[in-house]
Amino acid sequence: MDRAAHWDRVYASKEDLDVSWFEPEPSVSLALLEAAGLKASSRIIDIGGGNSRLVDALLARDVAAISVLDVSSAAIERVRARLGDIGTRVNWIVGDVAADLDVPAVDLWHDRAVFHFLTEPDDRAGYLRNLERAVVPGGSAVIATFAVDGPARCSGLPVVRYSPETLAVTLGPRFRRVESVAHVHHTPWGATQSFQYSRFNRLA
Ligand SMILES: C[S@@+](CC[C@H](N)C(=O)[O-])C[C@H]1O[C@@H](n2cnc3c(N)ncnc32)[C@H](O)[C@@H]1O
């Protein structure tokens, strides 16, 4: 399937409050990024950032090096238009995280609701190559997926659901799970979705 075309269609036809994953405040992500040492000098990448408000929170904290990657150019255009001038401080990347990418070196990798769309082993392997390349030893990854009791599909696509343990096994020995948080997300129309958020350390 053509991922870019799928997600471009989503962003062309839906407003923030029309999509299940929208959250006005990325509070669980920020708590875990802060626990991972987020500070003004951090280098961070948000994978599949979409129109998430995480980038707003990072800009408000004056984080020095912020990258946002998304497979959908429509998503990137939307968030850039929303942010205006302040958005010029962000390194915007249109790309598929499962492909061979030139990702910047970062201290922090954040992904909310992207990895779980990779249902094919080759795509997960591509993601993990980028993750290992990008996150410096001693750095951290915060990855949020649907939990084992979460939805089986999102945005018309199948997903793989993870427990903290199965996610840790999938990431492999170069990442040590430090903590996990179970979170019930409330969609804009009041449905609930069960997520797990896990924080990992990149080992040397
Ligand atoms: C469910 S949305 C989550 C958006 C955002 N992370 C949030 O929490 O609000 C998934 C996002 O990931 C992007 N995406 C999906 N597959 C991707 C891939 N293989 N590489 C990069 N971005 C991807 C989509 O365009 C979309 O913006």
pLDDT digits (tens, 9 = 90+) for 119-161: 999 999 999 999 999 999 999 999 999 999 999 999 999 999 9
For domain 3-202, give its CATH number from 3.40.50.2000, 3.40.50.150, 1.10.10.10, 3.40.1190.20: 3.40.50.150
- Measure 116 CA to ligand 1 centroid, in angstroms: 10
Q: Is the pTM of this model over 0.85?
A: yes
- Measure 114 CA to ligand 1 centroid, in angstroms: 5
Q: Where are the domains of the chain?
A: 3-202
Query: What is the average per-residue pLDDT within 16-37?
Result: 98
Backbone angle region of 111, left / alpha / beta, with phi > 0 → left and psi within -120 to 50 → alpha: beta
Task: State how far the Cα of 125 lies from the Cα of 171, in Å rounded to an integer.
Answer: 9
Residue 97: both structure tokens together? 């995280």
Please tell me the predicted confidence (pLDDT) of residue 1.
Answer: 81
| Stretch (H or E) spanning 51 | none
Specify whether the CB–CB gap between 39 and 65 falls below 8 A.
no
Contact 7 CB / ligand 1 (< 6 Å): yes
Contact 145 CB / ligand 1 (< 6 Å): no
